[in-house]
Amino acid sequence: MGAKTGLLVYADGDVPGLLRQVGAADLEPTSLMMRRLYPGCEIEECEGSFLGEGVYPPDGTTYGASWSGVELVCDQRVMIDLPSRLPEHFVAASAGRRLVLHAMHSVVDWLAFAVWEDGQLIRSLSLSPDSGIMENIGEQLPFERPYWAGDRPADVIPWPGEEEEPYALAFHPLELGEDALRALCGFIQEGYPESDDVDADSIGLHGFRVRDPHGPDPAEKEEARRRAIEAMGPPRIYSMGPDGLLVERDSL
């Protein structure tokens, strides 16, 4: 699995149903939404994307769209370990509406999602195999129940050289993450699409570069990232062996 998301959706009702009806998002209301959600930030228009591939924008970039009844933003900055601590101005913007947060990162098998109704948090979950359950607030939603009941156990292939140990969680967060994304937003990142899924690849998003004038300098962050990459060793590539285990390609 290679899915990553950082997504907020504001809606006047059922998100999947509303997203099935949207057309092209106008730039002016989308820009107004951006200024409302990122007060005090420097916002500059840039190249946009589509919902299917834009749910994990580059660092410093936000994709957004505003329609009547539903608005959304895709931004790495909403990928927080504790969704209940989403900055208050994001939550305040959901007064009288539903707010959905969905965030996951395949590198660390991390998932977080949350739902607010009229500014009140009704469900929040955040978990990963390394950190365990970081947040679990509210009653389980219907799509979660088979996972907690043990009906969707994790099936994970160990890395070469590692002993085959039970997965640290009873289920795989990314599998639940895809079901959460479909149930809450109407589409998925990986897996088999269903006939009534939202066509996320057809939903255009406007692009914005968003900079907090009091935050770290983007050039300094990029330089730190470049140095970290240079310090890494050469990549290790694996293939599936005949016994079903991963084998380093150079050793084949």
Q: What angle do CA 128, 129, 130 make, to 5 degrees?
A: 90
Domain range summary for the chain, segments of one domain joined by +: 4-217
Q: 229 pLDDT band (50/70/90 cuts)?
A: low
pLDDT single digits (tens) 48-78: 999 999 999 999 999 999 999 999 999 999 9
Q: Among all chains, which residue has been given the structure tokens 């994709």? A: 63
CB neighbour class for 249 (10 Å; exposed up to 12, middle 13-18, buried from 19): exposed
Q: What is the pLDDT of residue 27?
A: 98
Taking the C-alpha atoms of residue 101 and residue 50, their distance in angstroms, rounded to an integer, is 18
Gap between the Cα atoms of 108 and 106, Å rounded: 5
**Cβ-based burial of 1 (10 A; exposed 0-12, middle 13-18, buried ≥19):** middle
Q: What is the pLDDT of residues 120-154, one digit of tens each?
A: 999 999 999 999 999 999 999 999 999 999 999 98
Between 191 and 162, the higher pLDDT residue: 191
The model's pTM? 0.84
Distances (CA, A) of 12 to 95, 106, 116: 10, 30, 12
